[in-house]
Amino acid sequence: MKLLPPQVLKPWKDSSAVVRVAPFLVFLVLTSCQGQFGEESRYWFYLVKTVVGAWLVWEMRSLVTEMRWTWSWSALAVGIGVFAGWVGLDGWYPTFAEIGRDYLYPTLRQVGLEGWRPESSAPTPAWNPHAQFGADSGLAWLLIVARLLGSTFVVPPLEEVFYRSFLYRYLAGAQFLSLPLGLWAPKPFLFTSVIFGLTHHQWLAGILCGLAYQGLVVWRQRLGDAMTAHAITNLLLGLWVVGRGAWHFW
C-alpha cells in the first residue's frame, strides 16, 4: 500500500542522488524533533522516525540496487569489533556534551558571554524509557524494542546508503553512479568517516566506526557487508544498553 500518491514520490524517485539523500534527511529532521516538544517527545519521535524510516527503506528497495543485505565473516568481525571499541573507549575521551560543559562554556563565560554557563545548561538525561514511563512498564518495553529494531534494521540501510554509497562516491566524482563502491579515494574516505563520527555523541568511536565500515565497503566492493556490520554493532550495543543499564549510549 502506498502511503503517498505517485506524483509526490516521482520527483525524488527519478533522481539517483535524491533517492539516496532525501530519506536520510527526513530521518535527521525527525531526529531533531526529539525532545523539542517536552521530554516525552524524545521517545515518541523516535518511535515515529523508526516507522517512517522503515517505510522509506521499503520505498528505496527497488531504486537503490546496492542496498542489499549480504553476509560475510568479515562483516561479522567488523560489527563485533566496532561494538567492542565503542564500549571499550567509553570514558577515555570527552563526549560532545562533556566538551561543552568543561571547555566551551567556561571559555565563553571568560570572554563575557555570561548566559553561557555550565550550570544553566543541564545535561540531557539518558534515553531511558524505564525512568520516563515506569520501570518494566509495557510502554517502556515497547519503546525499547522499537529502538532495538530501528537501530538494527532501519538505521543501517539509511546511513550506509547516504554515507557509503552517495557521499563517499560523490566526493570522489559528481557522476557518482559511474564510480565503483570499491573505489579507494583517501580524502573522501577520511572526510566521510569524520562526518559520520561527528554526528554521534561518542565522536571518536563514531569516526573509527566510519573508517571500519567504509573500509569494509572498499574491501568487499559492496554495500551489504557494511549494512550487516552496522546492524550487528547496533544490535550488540542495544543489548548492552538494556542488559547493563548503560543508557548513556542511547
What cell numbers appear for 68 in the block?
542489499
Residue 1: pLDDT band (50, 70, 90) is: very low
Torsion of CA 76, 79, 80, 83, to 10 degrees: -170
- Condensed to tens digits (0 to 9), the pLDDT of residues 175-193 reads 999 999 999 999 999 999 9
- Condensed to tens digits (0 to 9), the pLDDT of residues 9-44 reads 555 566 899 999 999 999 999 999 998 999 999 999
- Record the pTM: 0.88
Percent of the chain at pLDDT exceeding 90: 79
Residues 87 and 244: beta-carbon distance below 8 Å: no
Assign 38 to helix, strand or coil. strand
- Condensed to tens digits (0 to 9), the pLDDT of residues 91-116 reads 898 887 777 666 555 665 665 655 55
Q: How buried is 132 (Cβ within 10 angstroms: 0-12 exposed, 13-18 middle, 19+ buried)?
A: middle
Residues 134 and 187: beta-carbon distance below 8 Å: no
- Condensed to tens digits (0 to 9), the pLDDT of residues 41-83 reads 999 999 999 999 999 999 999 999 999 999 999 999 999 999 9
